[in-house]
Amino acid sequence: MGRMERSCFTLDLGAIRRNAETLLRAAEGAELWAVVKAEGYGHGAVDVSKAALEAGATALCVATLPEALHLRAALRNARILVMGPVSERELGEARVARLELVAADGQVPEGVRVHLKIDTGMGRWGLSELPSPTRDVVGVMSHLASAESDPAFTQLQVARFREATAGLSSLTRHLANSAAVLRFAEARFDAVRCGIALYGISPFGTDPSHDGLEPALRWESYVALAKRLDPGESTGYGRRYVADRPTWIGVVPVGYADGFRRDMSGTDVLVDGVRRRVVGTISMDALAVVLDGPVESGTPVTLVGDGVLVEEHARVADTIAYEVAVGLNTRSGRARRVAVDG
């Protein structure tokens, strides 16, 4: 069997577009702003941005100035909002690149389009009350703390935002994240900022198909070695998995340096299309799966895709799918990343 790539990520641009269209339908007339920070949640910011814009998104949101400049180099005319703090030293670059910035600390920069951010309950970035908008202010925003889990507090934040922005109808008001777009019609206002759902990952940690979302990323590797363990023999550091009967294991050349976290031991992957359990300690560059018997070197392994969800891995790791996704090492010489139009 021919050897596959040790770590290969495939981004389905069609899935990104279809997710964007699903979110636009849910937004019911509000604009869709695609959140593509953290290299597009590990998926590839430029590719995701182009697909989202093709599907009807009207702006891109990132966290840092370098992220925005990276996008601007590829997308000369896109509307790009930097949601995190920008230093005085960076303001000149932001102006030249025609970026939009967020004012969350009382200082409203001049000569650049600005969105005022009010804290309605997130307890993080944001003003306690809105100042009078200057001529550079084009939007007003806030951020929801628990739209995926706490309806009552979400409704309180929506009410606070509506009250705080009353009389500012000339400005674009934006509050909703992915969870709120899908669950809270009253949170949609003029624009919605969607990240995790755009990638086909559920903001609720459930099966994304329940909300009409389609996972956009596949992660594949292969079995580099199949090995028989006798009773009492182990695999991996710390001997965390010891065979209690004759057991075949497959060694896959992917580990925590590639984003397959140590705390995901016990999750499932697919070996030649069949679910197999990951066992033992995840190494920096390898993991082990239990097999029914020997397999050939080069047998394909699907780490994400074909029904193996990021959400499942996150539950095993006792974390959220966001953290698993952005931790995938799609951005170094350790992996190949391709985009396809599916």
- Here the tokens at position 339 are 């985009």
173 burial via Cβ count (<10 Å: 0-12, 13-18, 19+):
buried
Run of H or E including 222? strand 217-222
- Tell me if 203 sits within 8 A of 197, measured CB to CB: yes
- Tell me if 56 sits within 8 A of 71, measured CB to CB: no
33 burial via Cβ count (<10 Å: 0-12, 13-18, 19+):
buried
Spatial neighbors of 25 by CB under 8 A, at least 6 apart, are none
- Here the tokens at position 231 are 């009773």
Q: Which residues are catalytic?
A: 37, 237
Whole-angstrom Cα distance, residue 120 to residue 116? 12
